[in-house]
Structure 1
């Protein structure tokens, strides 16, 4: 029997997070390239961004054919959040000033392995300057384990990016993430919950 879902947040009714959703008027448009395997992951945070950010779009796929919309983006003011050797650190003010104005932020939503695959299959992404951070904020997303120490959830990465680029207050996004964690762990068996606490 299928679980009843909230019509707005699309989580199960017993894990509905609508009470913590706050509308945020971001100036930089966020474009999330979501690997198809992430869509049905209950702990995926991209949909949380879509609930809060006024200007946010999720595009599902893994290659140029799926991401044709990227062709229309302005190359000079669009950046891709990805930590490669060419990336400019957003937390370096001098470096950030060379990028401004930034109008579009592209983020890949998937495991490191899947994100790398999307990058390899999507030559359209090579057109854009990559950005990253020299110093990462503390990972708050304890209920989804990551193999790398420099891992952030998609929500955390976007929240930190927008804070650095446009001084957007990340608190409402972090509050929503905290609500998701609280709702998800509340219904876990004690032995499962112990792994994350």
Structure 2
């Protein structure tokens, strides 16, 4: 076989090889785990600004990106120190917006024990509620807040988780920690009515639908990998053992 024949053979083999790692340009998942067909957009009457940490951008399972794909009028902005970020500062300076940040802490107003009237009283009904959400690990979220001078003085809101996170393919610091998409869903559950969103329509459950579908798919991959790696599956029968031979 000469060089030309060898190169032609390699080309044919390459073209015949399935592109298992070809990525979807929307969800940045390999084609075999793309979740875009589960996405149904909706408008929660709240503009969410999702600030995604650079490390989170590279994760295949980034629920901030997943949230952005589901939420109409949302923003997904990559960064760590947003002090001089033009997109963030433009949103913050818009006089038609009431900007707040979903972030726990001593100065945060807990939405959970409030009545609907009390929640409604937190907001200027003549302005568009614009809620910033940090998408990253807890350690990186703390650092992002400390570095981003333009976020420090934003009014903060939080909630008390009502059940453990369903993010079973990624370890959380403790069961009260929600993924970004779960946190956004619960915030809509609490604030939707105050913003004119029909919570009873359960449109916001579309967030959990795509999230849960992704989690179940990843768990199935893990189960399959465990079965393949199970040494019991490859145990040599006694009659074929070295001693028997």
Whole-angstrom CA distance in 2 between matches of 1:177 and 1:13: 17
Whole-angstrom CA distance in 2 between matches of 1:175 and 1:121: 34
8 A Cα contact 1:59 1:67, kept in partner: no
Partner residue, 1:195: none
Q: Select 2:206's aligned residue among 166, 172, 180.
A: 172
8 A Cα contact 1:28 1:105, kept in partner: yes
The farther-off stretch of 62-71 and 152-161 is 62-71
Flag structure 2 segments of 5+ consecutive residues without an equivalent: 1-18, 194-198, 229-245
Q: Select 1:103's aligned residue among 110, 129, 143.
A: 129
The farther-off stretch of 62-71 and 113-122 is 62-71
1:112 equivalenced with 2:138 (yes/no): yes
Partner residue, 1:190: 226
Q: How far 1:66 moved relative to its partner?
A: 5.3
Q: How far 1:89 moved relative to its partner?
A: 1.4
Q: How far 1:113 moved relative to its partner?
A: 0.6
Q: Select 1:52's aligned residue among 48, 53, 70.
A: 70
Partner residue, 1:84: 105
Partner residue, 1:127: 153
Alignment map for 1:30-45 (pairs within 5 Å): 30-45=48-63
Q: Select 2:35's aligned residue among 1, 5, 17.
A: 17
Q: CA RMSD in A?
A: 2.3
Flag structure 1 segments of 5+ consecutive residues without an equivalent: 193-197
TM-score (ref. length: structure 2): 0.71
When the two structures are aligned, how many residues end up with a matched partner?
A: 192
TM-score (ref. length: structure 1): 0.87
The farther-off stretch of 17-26 and 164-173 is 164-173
Q: Which has the higher relative contact order, 1 or 2, with Cα contacts under 8 A spaced 6 or more apart?
A: 1
Whole-angstrom CA distance in 1 between matches of 2:159 and 2:179: 14
Q: SS in structure 2 opposite 1:39?
A: helix
Q: How far 1:65 moved relative to its partner?
A: 4.2
Whole-angstrom CA distance in 2 between matches of 1:89 and 1:158: 15
Q: Select 1:69's aligned residue among 49, 62, 87.
A: 87
Distance 1:190 1:160, change over 3 A: same
8 A Cα contact 2:20 2:32, kept in partner: no
Whole-angstrom CA distance in 2 between matches of 1:68 and 1:35: 16
